[in-house]
Amino acid sequence: MKRALAEKSVGVRRRSKLVEIVAVGVLLSVGLFASRTIASIYTLTPGNTITANSAAYPSGGTILSSHTGSFASGTIDGTVTSYVISGDSSNPYGGLTFEYLLTMTGGTDNISELTAGGYAGYQTDATYNPNTPSSGGIAPSFFSRSTTGVNNGDTLEFSWLFNKLSPGQTGDLVVVQTDAHNYGLGSGSAIDSTAVSVAILTPVPEPQIASLAAMGLGALFIFLRRNSK
């Protein structure tokens, strides 16, 4: 009887320990996705619009990649050069910084907006730098972000509502500081009376984090299922 009770006690302790380990793993996984409470006049959260503020960002860092994508519809033609920067000391989130330089090369209409997808779930601060790579650009008016829900703030919108870009003009460099640590080629759009897609560099999900969360939840599910029998 005593032996049976002892074995039962050991089993309970082992199950309790396993639950603790799995729970910690799940919490750590969820914590990696948790929002950081860093806010400023530059912070662009899902569903919100902020005034486009100028700043001398980024500060230092290394350009990891650059890409120039072209777009053409006949009414709005141009390019978007995007950059990914690591080690930007002014980035409050410690992740990658993305830059976008919009140039209108031709067409009959003016460009009023540039969008960038791929930001779902990431923290973002958005500014523009009027002095990089050169002065003389057109300053944007507002920065917006799509609402939460299915896309979770996936799309950033950079608006030149008050000063639309005409053929031959370039917008000031848009700087987006994030907590993302991975990047790839994504999609954006140049917009006025129509929207034209253009390839740009954007954040991409980190498979290792998603896998860690899935493993933790999976292990907890299996353990609870076995012990419910």
Q: Tell me: the pLDDT tens digits for 72-105?
A: 998 999 999 999 999 999 999 999 999 999 999 9
pLDDT of residue 126: 98
If one compares 47 and 213, the residue with the highest pLDDT of the two is: 47
Is residue 199 pLDDT above 60, yes or no? Answer: yes
pLDDT of residue 60: 94
Q: How confident is the model at residue 218 (pLDDT cuts 50, 70, 90)?
A: low
Helix (H/G/I), strand (E/B), else coil: 181: coil
What is the tens place of the pLDDT at every residue in 128-187?
999 987 778 999 999 999 997 667 899 999 999 999 999 999 999 999 999 999 999 999
Helix (H/G/I), strand (E/B), else coil: 130: coil
* Ranges of each domain in the chain: 2-34+209-228, 49-206
pLDDT of residue 83: 98
CATH topology of domain 49-206: Immunoglobulin-like (2.60.40)
pLDDT of residue 132: 81
What is the tens place of the pLDDT at every residue in 30-77?
444 444 456 899 999 999 999 999 999 999 999 999 999 999 998 999
What is the tens place of the pLDDT at every residue in 107-130?
999 999 999 999 999 999 999 999
Burial environment of residue 196 by CB neighbours within 10 A (0 to 12, 13 to 18, 19 or more)? buried
Q: How confident is the model at residue 220 (pLDDT cuts 50, 70, 90)?
A: low
Helix (H/G/I), strand (E/B), else coil: 155: coil
| Residue 62: strand pairing partners | 86
Query: What mean pLDDT, rounded, does the chain reach?
Result: 83
- Pairing state between β 113-116 and 156-159: antiparallel
Is the pTM higher than 0.85? no
pLDDT of residue 167: 95
